[in-house]
Structure 1
Amino acid sequence: MHDDAARPGSGDGDRAREVLRAPAFALFWSATTIRAFGGSIAGVAFQILIVTSLAASPFEIGVLSALSVVPYLFLGVVVGALMDRWRRQRTLIFTSIGRAVVLGAVPVLLLVDALDFWSLAIVILMLGVLTLFADSAAQPFLPHIVPRSSLVMANARLGQSETVAGTAGPALGGALLNLLGAPFLFAFDAAINAVSAVLQSRIRVDEAPPLPRASGRHIGHDIVEGMRYTYRHRTLRPLALSVHIWFLANSIVATVFAVFVLRELNLEPWAFGLALACGGVGGFLGALFAPALGRRLGAGRAILLGRLLVILPWVALAVAPVSAASGLALLLPLISVAQFVYGLSMGIEDANDIGYRQAAAPDAIQGRMNSTIRTMNRVIFFFGALLAGVLATVLGYPLTLGVAAVIFAVAAAVVGLSPLRRARHEDAADLES
């Protein structure tokens, strides 16, 4: 199986089989899924520690939130270049062990009453760096354990489990926090990461060593080569640009949506949570349908479908004549349906987007291509969140959501008016950059 996965085009004529039946992917999926649940559960404890136990100021909360993104801004393309030089499986194992150690230190600090703002900041920063390395290794590693024809299904299965973890994990974490306390949650997440490392170590895969770097070349040359490949490729260029524009719009809605719904529309917290759960259901169903849509429509049209769907909920919220006086009977269905369509769109496009990227790029440049797109997305999200605050202040929340919908439409137009629209997963590796 590993040899087939390494050869572009092998097995492409066969209909994608259920990837969870493949032992290597089953181990990878299991490690990723339990880690996602552990992260969602521990995330509740982090939020409560920051707001209550540490009594952090708004500025300190902002600093702690930014620390999880900072590693991507400063190290993203560097780590991506390293992933084309390092063994990716080994990186995944070491990062899981590293997270287990860092998370295991938190209950110790809590028990000795030594956890303060600075120590928690160090923990969050270290976890951010480890997550960056893990994410940068995981995407280029997947094509080594899954045939190219099954990449969309593999990403869909990962998306489904992560959606369930993101939806159910916080609720479970809140319950466990009340019953057992924060030290137990962090110890539990540390143990989960240790188990994840064991599962990752059992994956049987042959990673070919990278070609030696030519004389006179250094990591800077590798980074530039990755950027040139990404932004000169016939279909990866419009895909990357569309994703960047999508992230700008998403940074706006992610920043203002909760404030708009909870503060201006005065929706009850339980109703807000229910609406978010509908988004999780939509994401799960979108990932479930993504492989079939990718096969039937082609990668480009499946991505375009997701890009078009995401416009609808934000247009609806921008133009709907609702206010705090509208009442729960009107607000809850509107916001729940909007979240469902939002999640559905992401479920459809994510699996096809990532699967196409993994199939289109050679293994030797996978790490750099993915890190180039991922790092630029984080930069855009960072500044988009700042822009969202300005827009909400000047235009108000509904018009700001309308601006986001227009930006989402531009992201769809980039796909619809480019060669990416006609791209298919089975032809990805045959394209010339």
Structure 2
Amino acid sequence: MDEDSPSAAPPREILRHPAFAFFWTATTLRAFGSTIAGVAFQVLIVTVIGATPGQVGILNALSVVPYLFLGLIVGAWMDRWRRQRALVVTTIGRAVVLAIVPVLVVTGALDFWSLAAVTLALGVLTLFGDSAAQPLLPRLVPRASLPAANARLGQSQTVAQTAGPAIGGALLAIVGAPILFVIDAVIAAVAALLQSGIVVSEKRAAPRAAGRHVGHEIAQGMRYTYRHPTLRPLALSIHVWFLGNSIVVTAFVVFALRELALPPWAYGVALALGGVGGFVGAVIAPRLGARLGAGRAILLGRVLVVLPWAALALVPLSPDGGMGVTLGVVAAAQFVYGLAMGIEDPNDISYRQSVAPDGIQGRMNSTIRTVNRTVFFVGALLAGLLMTVIGLPATLGAGAGFFVLASLVIAFSPLRSARHGGTTKN
């Protein structure tokens, strides 16, 4: 057990840890609030400000831009700041920004530029919140319980992503978009109150040595991540996975709605099956991690994710083949896709959290997360080129090929035999 870990108490039901119970409840509320308000955002973008396709692309990009420009810096800060306090402050900031939106709507001041400012502000706050939450979790539960904790978080996130849009759509029809933002602001305020109730012991970072600055600390975090014998292949595999994932998710919506001519309701059913698969995967992830080891559980998820996209690329589907067969294949593919992510995500994140010392958690996570966002940007652009040049099924096949490569990185590395809770020496 690492010296930075909480007390090595015997594993028990994870929600019986009071600090984690507050953390999980707040995180679950925020997930539901975000997915519910996401419906209102789309309505405002399309119907209220009448955004052009180019403006829609800019608004989508603004939510990711903070990670590209600030991700590494914020990660370094989180290894010096009190993470629990940072989490509370950013959640309060989110509540304030969300509360501004209905005021803009009511006063008629909402336009592309004001919505862009809101989107950018929420992106920055999300960056700070994510950068605080991941390294905080190992301080809330014993490191042996991290797979169970991340699985719980994954389950609630999956349920929110599956049910949230439906709830948001129903509420939108009843109360309108401005009230949805009020609801999300209230949810964020409640989440901040719960986060403030988290009791956690956080170490104070030692003062920087003379002549050192945040750039030195960022470089240290990158060296640690990419020189570590098991974190290096894990990080590289994640980056390749993100490249493949950006290609398939960009192409899938066009493939399903245009190539296969699925009606919107059928497309929604397929996505919902992906959510079900993700929930099932998150339920079984801790047991698989304990039985197979972290490395093999992650590898299983990486291998599984190849199957649905290879199937969609190779199985001859067409609008003339019958709605039932087409929807069945697409829905089954989404279920396996969600199942794979549900298995690998808790084991992936938990292994990172269990291996890295507390003092470098923020930088290690931000290094991986920032490169992932950059790779996703590149992959989305590559997907557009591939769809134009080789067609939609072949583009999905190319994404599956990157998933194969991500699996091979783990299969031929020391990570394959790694287990959770490995001792880390500073």
What band does the TM-score fall into relative to the shorter chain?
over 0.9
- Change in 2 beyond 3 A, CA 1:152/1:133: same
Distance 2:370 2:13 in 1: 31
Once the two structures are superposed, residues 325-354 of structure 1 have per-residue CA deviations (whole angstroms, 9 ceiling, x without a partner) of 111111111001000000000000000000
- Given candidates 18, 25, 31, the residue that maps to 1:30 is 25
Q: Distance in 1 between matches of 2:22 and 2:72?
A: 28
Q: Note the alpha carbon deviations across 1:90-122, whole angstroms, 9 max, x for none.
A: 000000100000000000111111100000000
User: In structure 2, the residue corresponding to 1:322 is in which secondary structure?
Assistant: coil
Which residue identity does 1:27 align to in structure 2? F
Alignment partner of 1:139 is 2:154: no
Pair 1:386-2:358 in alignment = no
Answering whether residue 268 of structure 2 is matched by residue 273 of structure 1, we say: yes
Letter in 2 for 1:256: A
- Do the aligned partners of residues 75 and 100 (structure 1) sit closer, same or farther apart at CA in structure 2, a change above 3 Å counting? same
Instruction: Provide closer, same or farther for how the CA distance between residues 241 and 266 of structure 1 changes in structure 2, counting only shifts above 3 A.
Output: same
Distance 1:164 1:178 in 2: 21
Structure 1 169/9 Cα, relative in aligned 2: closer, same or farther at 3 Å? closer
**1:301-312 aligned within 5 A:** 301-312=296-307
Aligned residue number for residue 91 of structure 2: 96
Paired letter, 2:259 = E
* Residue from 414, 423, 426 that aligns with 1:429: 423
Structure 1 segment 213-232 matched on structure 2, within 5 A: 213-232=208-227
Whole-Å separation in 1 of the counterparts to 2:148 and 2:127: 24
Cα deviation for residue 5 of structure 1 reads 8.6
Spell out, residue by residue over 1:373-427, the C-alpha distance to the aligned partner (whole angstroms, 9 max, x if none): 000000000010000000010000000111111110000000000000000003x
Q: 1:20 and 1:128 mapped to 2: Cα distance?
A: 29
Q: Is the 8 A contact 2:19 2:199 kept in 1?
A: yes
Tell me the distance in 2 between the aligned counterparts of 1:429 and 1:177: 50
The 3 A distance-change label for structure 1 pair 9 and 127 is closer
Among 241, 251, 259, the residue aligned to 1:264: 259
Q: Deviation at 1:17?
A: 1.9
User: How far did residue 429 of structure 1 move?
Assistant: 2.5
Counterpart in the other structure of 1:340: 335
Which structure 2 residues correspond to residues 353-368 of structure 1 after superposition, within 5 A? 353-368=348-363
2:8 to 11, 19, 31: 11
Question: Does the CA contact (< 8 Å) of 1:84 and 1:367 recur in 2?
Answer: yes
Residues 250-297 of structure 1: CA deviation (Å, up to 9, x unaligned): 000110101100001001110110010000000001000000000000
Residues 229-251 of structure 1, C-alpha deviations (whole Å, 9 max, x = no match): 00000000000000000000000
Task: Measure how far apart 1:53 and its partner are.
Answer: 1.1
Q: Is the 8 A contact 2:2 2:357 kept in 1?
A: no
Residue in 1 that maps onto 2:151: 156
Report what 1:47 is aligned to. Answer: 42
| One-letter identity of the residue aligned with 1:415 | I
Which one-letter code corresponds to 1:161 in the other structure?
S
Is the aligned partner of 1:174 residue 2:169? yes
CA distance in 2, matches of 1:212, 1:136: 21
Answer yes or no: is 1:375 the counterpart of 2:370. Answer: yes
Q: Percent identity?
A: 66
- 2:18 and 2:59 map into 1 onto residues whose CA distance is 39
Q: Which residue of 1 aligns with 2:200?
A: 205
* TM-score, structure 1 as length reference: 0.97
Amino acid paired to 1:320: V
CA distance in 1, matches of 2:394, 2:416: 30
**C-alpha distance in structure 2 between counterparts of 1:55 and 1:245, whole Å:** 36
Residue 68 (structure 2) aligns with:
73
Amino acid at match of 1:275: A
Q: Distance in 2 between matches of 1:413 and 1:9?
A: 34
Matches of 1:399 and 1:264, distance apart in 2: 12
Q: Name the counterpart of 1:194.
A: 189
Residue 11 of structure 1: how far off its partner (Å):
2.5
- Give the AA of the match of 1:176: L
Encode CA deviations 1:152-197: one digit per residue, 9 max, x unaligned: 1000000000000001000100110010001100000001111011
Structure 1 stretches lacking a partner, 5+ long: none
Q: Which AA in structure 2 matches 1:113?
A: G
Match of 2:57 among 55, 62, 81: 62
- Find the counterpart in structure 2 of residue 327 from structure 1: 322
Deviation at 1:6, TM superposition (A): 6.0
- How far, CA to CA, are the matches of 1:38 and 1:129 in structure 2? 17
- Answer whether contact 1:299 1:425 (CA < 8 A) is retained: yes
Specify the code of the residue in structure 1 equivalent to 2:320.
Answer: A
Number of residues paired by the alignment? Answer: 426
Aligned equivalents of 1:322, 1:131: Cα separation in 2: 39
RMSD: 1.2
Secondary structure class of the residue paired with 2:100: helix
Q: Is residue 298 from structure 1 mapped to residue 318 from structure 2 by the alignment? A: no
- Please tell me whether residue 318 in structure 1 is matched to residue 313 in structure 2: yes
Query: TM-score, with normalisation over the residues of structure 2?
Result: 0.98
Unaligned runs of 5+ residues in structure 2 are none
Q: Is the 8 A contact 1:276 1:336 kept in 2?
A: yes
Partner of 1:20: 15
User: Does residue 85 in structure 1 map to residue 80 in structure 2?
Assistant: yes
Cα pair 2:32 2:161 within 8 Å, conserved: yes
Q: Say whether the 8 Å CA contact 2:6–2:141 is kept in structure 1.
A: no
Matched-pair contact (CA < 8 Å) for 2:6–2:140: no
Q: Post-superposition shift, 1:10?
A: 5.2
Q: Is the 8 A contact 1:9 1:429 kept in 2?
A: no
Determine if contact 2:5/2:138 at 8 Å carries over to the other structure.
Answer: no
Report if aligned partners of 2:14, 2:145 keep a CA contact under 8 Å in 1.
Answer: yes
Q: 2:396 aligns with which of 401, 419, 432?
A: 401
Give SS of 1:203's match: coil
